A and B are shown apart, each in its own frame.
Chain A
Amino acid sequence: MPPLIEIRNMKKVYGEEEAAVYALAGVDVQVERGEFVAIMGPSGSGKSTLMNILGCLDRPSSGEYILDGRDVSQLSKNELAEVRNQKLGFIFQSFNLLPRLSALANVMLPMLYNPVEDISDAEAEARATASLEAVGLGARLHHRPNQLSGGQQQRVAIARALVNRPPLILADEPTGNLDSKASVEIMDILHKLHREGVTIVMVTHEPDIAAHAGRTICVRDGKIVQSGKCAEAR
C-alpha cells in the first residue's frame, strides 16, 4: 500500500523575485498509514505553513502532495473543501467549537458539508452521539462548550474530527491550552485512536508531548532537519 502522505520537493514562496521568502524550501515528507508523527520546530521555521498545506487549507508554490493516493497540490478551492471534509479531521489548540451550539450539534457540523453522502438528520445524530461516546462524553451531548471543561471541549473537537471517519487526523498544538491533567487525557485518547489504526500528524513545541509520537519530524528554516536537532532548536 502506498504511504498516506507523500510530499516531494515542496516549496512555498511568499513575495516575488528578489523579495521572495521561502517558507518551505524543498521539503520531502512521507507518512505511512497508521503512523503517529509529531512535527516540531521553532516559530518561523515553516512548520505552520507545512501544517496548512497538509490540512489542504493552503496550496504549495511547487512540488507534489499526494494524500491517500491523490495529488492534491493544485486542486481548486471547492475540491480542497471536499478533501478536507472527507480525508481530514482537524484538532485545534483553541478547540474552535461554535459557542452557541451543543456538543452534539458541533460534532454534527462536518456531516452538514459532506458532498458524497447525504446523511439524514437521525443518522447524523446517531453518528455524532457514537463519536462523542467514543471520547467519553456520552453524558454531555447537550452541553454548550462554556458548560464544559477545557479537556472536555477538546474531546468534543476530537469527536468532531472523527465523525466523517477521515484517514488522517491533524492536531495543531492539541494540548497547548490545557493543564497537565487534561493534556494527559487528550494524549490518552490520541493513543487509543492510534492503536485503532488512525493516522495522526501533530504539531507541538513541547518535547514531552512530541515523545508520545512514534516519530518526530523537525522543521527548521523551511527544511526538514535531523530529529536530534529539534531539542537544540528550542
Chain B
Amino acid sequence: MKPQKILRSAWEGLMLNKVRSFLTTLGVIIGVASVIVMLAVSAGTEAAIAEQINALGANLIIVSPARGTPGAARTLLIDDAYAIAEQVVGITGISAEQAPVAQVVKANNLTLENIAVIGVTADFPDVRDYAVASGRFFDSAEDDRKAKVAVLGAGIAADFFGADDPVGQTITVGSTKLTILGVMEAKGMVADVDYDGRIYLPINLVFQKYVTTSSIGGDRVRTIYVKSESQDKIPSIIAQITALLAERHDVEASKPDFTVQTQQDIIATQEATTAAFRDLLAWVAGVSLLVGGIGIMNIMLVSVTERTREIGLRQALGARPADVLMQFLLEAIILSLAGGLAGVALGVGGAYLFGALGTMQTAIVPESIPLAFGAAAIVGIFFGYYPATQAAKLDPIVALRHE
C-alpha cells in the first residue's frame, strides 16, 4: 500500500467524525498554545526588566553596603565616594545618593505631604543619563557649601507650578526654604522608582538638614553609582574600587562589607529568578501537552474498539498488519500535527494579543514554535502507537464477528 493512499484513508477516517477529531485535538491545541504563550510572557518579563535596569544609565557600576554585615549602617560613606572619584582610573564620574525620610513640601501656596527627597552629587545627571529639561543642575561647589537649592522631578514641578516655569521660585522642603535651580526631563517609572516624583538636593545639604539621626551619622550614603568611560574598562574599575574600599574599610577584599555590581550582574540575578519562573511555566505547559496526548490515545483506543469490524473487513480485503498500524498511527499523528498547527497559531496570536492589550509584556520566542510543534508530533507518535498496535494485532476472524 502506497504511503499517500494510507495517508488518505487515515484522513478520511478522521473526517468521518469531525467533531470528535476536533475535540481530540483541543488538548494538543491548548498545550502547544500555552507553551508558546508562557515562554513569550516570561521572555517579555525578562526583556522588560533588562530594559528598566539599562535605563538606570549606561556603563554603570553600582556600589552599595553589603546586606547583613554587622555595623553595615556605617560602612559606605561620602568620603568613600570622593575617594573613588579621585583615585579610580577610567571613570567619567560618580554619583553618591542618600534618601532621607519623605518630607512635607510647600510651594506656590500648596502643601504636599510625603514627598520623596534624594540627596545626590553634582554629576548625577551625567552618571545616570538623566538630563535637565529647564534651568540647570547644581554644581559641586554648591554641593560642598550646602547651598539651599533644589532641582525638581518633572511630576513634582507640574504638581506645584502646572505649566509655569518654576526656575527661580522657592520651595520649602521640611523647614528649609530652597531656591529651584531646574527641572529634570520626564523619565517615568524605572525599576519601581518614580523619578519624576522626587526632589533632588545637594547631598551635603541632605546630610546637614534631613539625615538627623545621629546614631548613623550624617555622612552615610546608600549607593554610589560609578560611570565607566567604556564597557571594557568595567572589570578594571571593579577591581580598583574593591581594592580601594577594602583598604579604606580595613577588611579583606575577599570578605567585603560592600558590594560592587554592574547592570549585567543585576540583570543576571533577575534572569535567574525569571528563569526559574519560566521553567515552571514551561513544565506546566508541557504537562498540558502530555494530557492532550493522553486524550489522543484515549480517543484512538475508543476508535479502534468502535471500528473493530472495519479493521476485520480491511484485513479480509488484504490489509496487512502494517497497513492497519500505519492507518491508525497516521490518524493520531494527523490529529496532533493539526493540533500543533492550530496551537502555534493560537499561541502566537494570543501572545501578540496580550502584548497589544498591555496585559503583560510578551516577546514570542522563535524557538518555542518548532519546540512546541515538535513536541506535539512526538506526542502523536508516542500516544498513537499503542492504539495502532492494538488495531494491527486484531485477529480478522474475531474482528469480523465483533458486534
A133 at the interface (CB under 8 A from B): no
The one of A82, A100, A113 that contacts B314, using a Cβ cutoff of 8 Å: A113
Within 8 A of B (CB), among A99-134: 100, 109-110, 112-115, 118
Interface segment among B48-56, B177-185, B318-326: the answer is: B318-326
Q: A57-B397, A112-B1, A112-B9 are in contact. Are A96 and B318 (CB under 8 A)?
A: no
Q: How many chain B residues touch A (Cβ–Cβ < 8 Å)?
A: 22
Flag if B319 contacts A81 (CB, 8 Å): yes
The answer to whether residues A57 and B316 also contact, given A96-B309, A96-B400, A113-B1 and a CB cut-off of 8 A, is: yes
Which A residues touch B1, using CB under 8 A?
112-113, 115
B16 within 8 Å of A (CB atoms): yes
From known contacts A57-B396, A58-B397, A112-B1, infer whether A78 and B317 are also in contact, taking CB-CB under 8 Å. no
Q: Is the CB of A78 within 8 A of B322?
A: yes
Task: Establish whether residues A82 and B396, one from each chain, have CB atoms under 8 Å apart when the complex forms.
Answer: no
Contact residues in B for A115 (Cβ distance below 8 Å): 1, 318, 320
Contact residue among A52, A58, A81, A98 (Cβ-Cβ distance under 8 Å from B318)? A81
Closest to A96 in B: B313
Give bound CA distance, A115 to B320, whole Å.
Answer: 10
Q: Tell yes or no: A86 within 8 A of B by CB.
A: yes
Report the Cα distance A61→B224, complex, angstroms. Answer: 93
A-side interface size class: 20 to 34
Q: Which residues in A have some Cβ–Cβ distance to B below 8 Å?
A: 52, 55, 57-58, 77-78, 81-82, 84-86, 90, 92, 96, 98, 100, 109-110, 112-115, 118, 160, 164
Contacts of B321 in A (CB 8 A): 77-78, 81
> A118: nearest residue on chain B (CB-CB)?
B2
Total cross-chain contacts (CB, 8 A) = 61
In the complex, which residues of chain A have a beta carbon less than 8 angstroms from the beta carbon of B309? 96
8 closest A-B pairs by beta carbon, nearest first, are A85-B318, A113-B318, A81-B320, A110-B317, A100-B16, A96-B313, A78-B320, A57-B396
B315 located at the interface, meaning its Cβ lies under 8 Å from any Cβ of chain A in the complex? yes
Q: Is B5 an interface residue (CB 8 A)?
A: yes
Which residues in A have their C-beta under 8 angstroms from that of B312? Answer: 96
Name 30 interchain pairs, CB-CB below 8 A, sorted by A. Answer: A52-B397, A55-B316, A57-B397, A57-B400, A77-B320, A78-B321, A78-B322, A81-B318, A81-B320, A81-B321, A81-B323, A84-B316, A85-B317, A85-B318, A90-B317, A92-B400, A96-B316, A98-B313, A109-B313, A110-B317, A113-B314, A113-B317, A113-B319, A113-B320, A114-B318, A115-B318, A115-B320, A118-B2, A160-B317, A164-B318
